[in-house]
Structure 1
Amino acid sequence: MGNHLETPDGIDWGRALVAADFTIIRDAGFRTVRIPVRWSAHAQTTAPYTIDAAWMAKVQGIIGWANAAGLNVILDMHHYEELNTSPATQAARFTEMWRQIGAAFSSAPSSIWFELINEPNLSLNDTNLVSILTPALAAIRTTNPTRPVIVAGQNTSGVNSLATLAMPSDPYIVPTFHDYDPVAFTHQGATWIGTLWPIGRTFGSATDVTQIRSNLDKVRAYIARTGRVPFMGEYGAIDLTEVPLSERVKYYDTVSAAYASIGIQSCAWAYTNTFRLREGNAWLPGMLEAVRTTTTQ
Structure 2
Amino acid sequence: MRSFISALLMTALVTVSFVACDNSSAPPAVDSGSKPKEQGRTVVPVDYSKGRAMNARLGKGINLGNSWDSDYKNCKDDNCWGNAIDDGDFKIIKDAGFNSIRLPVRWQRNSDRETHTVNPEILAGVKEDVTLAINEGLVVLLDFHHYVELNALGGGAHRGRGDSVALFQAEKEHFVALWSQIATEFEEFPDSMLAYDILNEPTIPNEGLVNDVLRSAYDAIRKASPGKTIMFESYNAAKFAQLSILDLPADGNIIYSGHYYEPYTFSHQGHGYACQGDAAYSNKAVSDFLGYAKMAMELYPDISGKDFIPMNMGEFGIAGRSGGECGDKAPSDEAKAKWAAETIKAAQKYNMSFHYWGFTYVGGFEAYDRKGKAWYPGFPQALINPQ
TM-score by length of 2: 0.69
**SS class of match (1:74):** strand
Q: Give the C-alpha shift of residue 145 in structure 1.
A: 0.7
Residues 203-224 of structure 1 show CA distances to partners (whole Å, capped at 9, x for unaligned) of 685xx34x32331122211332
Over 3 Å counting, the alpha-carbon distance change for 1:127 and 1:142 in structure 2 is closer
**SS class of match (2:108):** helix
User: 1:257 touches 1:292 (CA, 8 Å); kept in 2?
Assistant: no
The residue that corresponds to 1:26 in the other structure is 94
Could you tell me which of 21, 33, 42 is aligned with 2:110?
Answer: 42
Distance 2:66 2:105 in 1: 9
Q: Give the C-alpha shift of residue 12 in structure 1.
A: 6.7
Does residue 159 (structure 1) correspond to residue 246 (structure 2)? The answer is no
The residue that corresponds to 2:342 in the other structure is 254
Q: Give the C-alpha shift of residue 269 in structure 1.
A: 0.3
Q: Give the C-alpha shift of residue 262 in structure 1.
A: 3.0
1:214-225 aligned at under 5 Å gives the runs 214-225=287-298
The residue that corresponds to 2:213 in the other structure is 132
Does residue 198 (structure 1) correspond to residue 269 (structure 2)? The answer is no
Over 3 Å counting, the alpha-carbon distance change for 1:177 and 1:119 in structure 2 is same
The residue that corresponds to 1:193 in the other structure is none
Higher relative contact order (CA 8 A, sep 6+): 2
Does residue 70 (structure 1) correspond to residue 137 (structure 2)? The answer is yes
The residue that corresponds to 2:157 in the other structure is none
**SS class of match (2:85):** coil
Over 3 Å counting, the alpha-carbon distance change for 1:273 and 1:220 in structure 2 is same
The residue that corresponds to 1:101 in the other structure is 182
The residue identity in structure 1 corresponding to 2:342 is T
Q: Which runs of 5+ in 2 are unaligned?
A: 1-63, 74-78, 154-167, 301-307
Residues 122-175 of structure 1 show CA distances to partners (whole Å, capped at 9, x for unaligned) of 34x422222222232222223211110101001001122123332234332211
**SS class of match (1:287):** coil
Q: Give the C-alpha shift of residue 290 in structure 1.
A: 0.7
User: 1:159 touches 1:215 (CA, 8 Å); kept in 2?
Assistant: no
Give the structure with higher Rg (CA). Answer: 2
TM-score by length of 1: 0.89
Over 3 Å counting, the alpha-carbon distance change for 1:139 and 1:105 in structure 2 is same
The residue that corresponds to 1:56 in the other structure is 123
Of all paired residues, the percent bearing the same amino acid is 27
The residue identity in structure 2 corresponding to 1:220 is A
Over 3 Å counting, the alpha-carbon distance change for 1:140 and 1:60 in structure 2 is same
Residues 181-236 of structure 1 show CA distances to partners (whole Å, capped at 9, x for unaligned) of 0100100111xxxxx2110242685xx34x32331122211332112121111101
Q: Which runs of 5+ in 1 are unaligned?
A: 191-195
